[in-house]
Amino acid sequence: MRLVPAPAGSGIVFRRSDVAKVSYATSLMRQGVLISTTEHLLSAFVGLGVDNVIVEIDNLEVPILDGSSLPYVDAILGAGLKRQRRKREYMRILKPVEVRENTPHGEKFIGVYPGEGYSIDYRIDFPAPIGKDHFVGDLEAGAYTGLIAPARTFGFREDEAMLRDMGLIRGASDACAIIIGEGKVLNGPLRFPDEFVRHKVLDLIGDLALAGRRIWGRVVAERAGHAMHTALVQRLLRDRSAWELTTRTEPAENRSAAAFEPSFA
């Protein structure tokens, strides 16, 4: 995979250089060309304020690396970012948009609301040893690299065979995810005591990037996941009265990944 600088106004563009719905990861498809597991890379772009970049990839899946977005963040920062003169265009939320799902275990929920900055309030509730947890933060505070990027994806050992049969997690191993089994973390230690909910926030940031602009507002989620994250994006895009495209009064220029050509295997 290679990241190529792009002119202001280009946005984030994926190009398959070779040539579905997936409920456990975020996928992009256009004209029959599929790219999977984009959320960690997209999350890194949003967290670092990268607005314009071309992602060239010759495979079905974006590399999972260590299961977090930190390797992408480190590589992008190592290569450098180019500040562009055109102001960043935001999707400013004007009214609430919500998605709810009733399940045998209770309601799942995600909503986006008017507000300043890009605040996220996320609650999770999983079987032991994860349990219930809660994270609140704001991307405008600039703490993505330290607080969110290192949080790794996680999965239950009992689900591994099913996911592989579905053609997923083909390159997964204990080195690229937190593995849970027998009621405990099998490959600790954790990077944060609340690493699980932090990773859900990481995923959310990447999934909401599918809206095409950085959110200006407040996001609240409870027991949501990729499917609900992307359902919120779809509902938001369908309701043109719920948002407006605007720039901020303070300088928030576009950024592009600069001269960044590492090979992620």
pLDDT of 27: 55
The catalytic residue among 40, 199, 226, 229 is: 226
CA–CA separation, 158 and 215 (whole Å): 36
| Residue 53, token pair as written in the block | 């970049």
With CA atoms as reference, report the closest residue to 67 among 181, 200, 244.
Answer: 200
pLDDT in tens, the chain (265 residues): 999 999 999 999 888 776 544 445 565 555 544 456 799 999 999 999 999 999 998 887 888 899 999 999 999 999 999 999 899 999 999 999 999 999 888 899 999 999 999 999 999 999 889 999 999 999 998 889 999 999 999 988 776 666 556 665 555 567 889 999 988 999 989 999 999 999 999 999 999 999 999 999 999 999 999 999 999 999 999 999 999 999 987 645 577 654 333 333 2
**In this predicted structure, what is the pLDDT of residue 178?**
94
Tokens in use for 154? 């996680």
Model pLDDT, residue 170 = 57
Burial per residue of 148-166, b for 16 or more beta-carbon CB atoms within 10 angstroms, e otherwise: bbbbbbbbeeeebeebeee
pTM of the shown model: 0.87
Q: Is the separation of the CB atoms in 197 and 124 below 8 Å?
A: yes
Number of Cα atoms under 13 Å in the Cβ half of residue 66: 14
Name all contacts of 157-160 with Cβ < 8 Å and 24+ positions apart: 157/181, 157/182, 157/186
Q: Residue 105 catalytic? A: no
How remote is the C-alpha of 105 from its chain's centroid? 25
